[in-house]
Chains A and B, each alone.
Chain A
Amino acid sequence: MTAMTKGIYFTEALARYRADSELGPLPEPVDVYALLNAYHPDYLRDSLVKLAVGANAGDSCQRELAELLQAEAFIDEADLAGTPVTDIDVLVIGGGGAGCAAALMAAEKGARVLLATKLRLGDSNTVMAEGGIQAAIEPDDSIQQHIQDTLRGGHHAGDPALVSIMAADGPEVLRWLIQQGMQFEQTTGGDLHTRRAGGLSTPRLVHCRDYTGLEMMRVLREAVIQHRSIEVWEQSPAVELLSNETGQKCVGAVLTSLLDGRLRIVRTRSVILATGGLGRLHLNGFPTSNHLGATGDGLVLAYRIGAQLRELDSFQYHPTGLLHPAHLSGKLVTEGVRAAGTLLVNALGNRFIDELQPRDVVCAAILRECSEGRGIRVDDGRVGVWLDTPRLERARPGLLEKQFPNLMTRTKIAGVDPRKQPLLTHPTLHYQNGGVVIDVNGATTVPGLYAVGEVAGGIHGRNRLMGNALLDIISFGRRAGAAATANRDRGPKKVTLEHVNRLRRALTIAGMPMTLRSPQVLPDYATGGAWNR
């Protein structure tokens, strides 16, 4: 490794940039594990700690997340007295794609459903997904190939049973989405159009231009709003789960209101956690592509009630987050842009990695370029590489505008035209690979508690392929919705915070400081007037 050098300044690099310059050949491939070891944020030594208490005591966990998992709760018994109680068949926590799919399925199966969400219904990571959703529907593709790609992409850390079920659900998931009213891109013959993506052995990505998540979310949101048996509470984050007298079973949740801070208790047979990811914890100081509500609340709640988690040391840093324009810092340029043929180019005007390698590998390669002085620098803190969109425009005129209207619209308000100016990109914290341990019905290790979507783990191993998250949220969302409804348990006699007391005792015995309270609910900078770029 060469010593850290400064790289080239943005304006200079931009002036020097030519869309028709000769690109050198790709360098010889390096040893992937050596590259990951040296540069991927998951492998940074001081970013990991061992958990001291709870179902995963002894397991390795990202440091900032560990602090929240082993923190004090907001709620204690005194808070419950006099708090209004609502009884419902199924409580869904989280109004993204997974939560809406679960709610719709539970309602379809006859349950009365309450969907409580932190912000506005649909304000989620789902709405921001661009690239597409995987399903093996092409004649030369198969469920088996989808399973193999997913397991290989996840470095064989995924649970084959979950992966198999999800891949086999793929075509049915698309049919269900179409039934709800979701549109997809078609070929002239009427087939669903499929794209390639990193780690896929064959084109398998079905999409709605680069607004796949928006199209999915607005359709599911509308379906939920219109459904007679689903009630929606917005601005109502869950801050604690409730357990039975022994603290062994989940029987409800405590919700607060972001508007007036008032608490509400919901009592139920089944709770479905669908709270999404944790990008807004900005692990290891990275920017994030995630929406404001992605603060890992579900992991905290599940862990406190005793649920087992997994792969807490594995996160996805998407290779191409925007560095410029500044107000879009961390925001994503979909992998679809690379899949369409866009190259990554360093400050010297060279390619440095096969752009369609798995995300962790491409991410590590970009971080290597930046740290070895071949990056393009905006200021002291921010260095990136070019995503060479003008070259794509030259090769395939009109493609960017036709296939990526979202990208064009977002950059336009800042006066940047990706057809003329390459985009400055840097890896961004994107996805939580692991999460709550579930079975094929989304059931966690705690009776009465289900977890679906990004909050759940085991499907994507240590690295998720593009398009598998949107599939996983609908596949397992529907499964959990059905299973939670079928749970004919008699329902709670008593709701308690026994699990909170249990963890508190364990923390005391382990001598852990209980200064921090969790879940986080909103990032500090969004509440305390501490925002600075």
Chain B
Amino acid sequence: MTIKNSPAEMADESRPVALTINGLAVSAQEGMTVVEAAWHGGVPRLTGVGCMEGVCGSCRIMLRRGDIVSVGLACQTFVENGAEVIFLPPASAPRHHYELSDFKDGWDIHARFQDIFPEAARCRHCHGCNVSCPKGISVEEGVMQASAGRFRDAGEIFFECVMCELCDGACPELIAPAHVGLFSRRVTAHFHLRPPNLIHRLEELRQDKLDKSVSYIDDGDD
């Protein structure tokens, strides 16, 4: 078994790595993430850093290595010599609006989806979303499933989505795949998640409430 196969693992912390971040030359150490390198180099006004473990989706970057330009998350990207990094501004406000409480019932979802996300049906299968997703999600497939009304399956595809909205920025049809994913997950729970154990307990509590004698103040006997 090999366990030393990544930059972080093989890092020799004494070895300097030169790169630029937001146009500033930074001398970092091998094994640092781009976030650490930016702090180390004193890059000013860095407002897009949050959890540092790849779940909040805030630290969106564009990265050039030689001829290759890509996007990703700074806390999940290790420094490389000669890399040029730009922290991207926050994504602009979403253009698709809906409130789940406006939906009639589960039969209404598909029609609503077509109204809210009319662009989704026009996906041109360019893979732009897949290429830009730092979580390796099959975004395009998710959009296809949602367009076909398979919201549960679509939502499952987006399970590891961290709301970075990099796919939204990549989509030439302005489909907003990230929000399609969240829509799919939300309608699945809102209309179909009806767990018997929870429902039973809620009913018991409702009965208790009618029967006013039950109180939940602890008498502190232990």
Contact = CB atoms under 8 A, between A and B. Distances in A.
B100 interface: yes
B216 A167 contact: yes
A16 interface: no
Contacts of B42: 528-530
Interface stretch (A80-88, A320-328, A470-478): A320-328
B6 A415 contact: yes
Given A160-B220, A227-B99, A327-B31, A183 B189 contact: yes
Interface string B142-162: 000000000000010001111
B186 A219 contact: yes
A124 B98 CA distance: 24
B160 A128 contact: no
Interface string A386-430: 000000000000000000011001100111110011000000000
A123 interface: yes
A410 B51 contact: no
A525 B41 CA distance: 10
B53 A328 contact: yes
B99 to A, nearest CB: 6
Contacts of A527: 44
A174 B198 contact: yes
Contacts of B5: 415
B53 A219 contact: no
A525 B99 CA distance: 41
B202 A179 contact: no
A178 B201 contact: no
Interface stretch (A59-67, A147-155, A308-316, A431-439): A147-155
A219 B190 CA distance: 11
Nearest to B94: A225
Given A120-B48, A222-B179, A409-B54, A190 B196 contact: yes
B68 interface: no
Interface string A518-529: 000000011111
A510 interface: no
B160 A420 contact: no
Contact of B31 (A152, A160, A326, A421): A326
A237 to B, nearest CB: 10
A172 B206 CA distance: 10
Interface in B52-95: 52-58, 75-76, 78, 90, 93-94
A135 B195 CA distance: 13
B50 A421 contact: no
A178 B189 contact: yes
A120 B160 contact: no
A161 B49 CA distance: 38
Interface string A113-145: 000000110111001100000011111000110
A226 B56 contact: no
Given A124-B56, A183-B188, A218-B182, A414 B6 contact: yes
Contacts of A405: 159-160
A119 B186 contact: no
B111 interface: no
B217 interface: yes
B9 A416 contact: yes
A506 interface: no
B188 to A, nearest CB: 7
Nearest to A194: B197
Contacts of A416: 3, 9
A181 B93 contact: no
Nearest to A410: B53
Contacts of B13: 326, 533
B81 to A, nearest CB: 18
Contacts of A227: 99
Contacts of B39: 525-526, 529-531
Contacts of A494: none
A214 interface: yes
Contact of A137 (B43, B187, B198): B198
Q: In this complex, which of A258, A525, A529, A532 has the most chain B Cβ atoms within 10 angstroms of its Cβ?
A: A529
Contacts of B76: 413
B40 A119 contact: no
B98 A226 contact: yes
Contacts of A420: 1, 3
A184 interface: yes
Closest 7 CB pairs of A and B: A529-B42, A181-B186, A531-B39, A415-B6, A123-B50, A414-B8, A191-B197
13 contacts: A128-B53, A209-B159, A215-B185, A218-B163, A221-B163, A235-B47, A292-B49, A292-B51, A327-B36, A414-B6, A415-B9, A417-B1, A526-B49
Given A128-B53, A156-B220, A293-B50, 5 more contacts: A180-B100, A184-B195, A186-B195, A190-B195, A191-B198
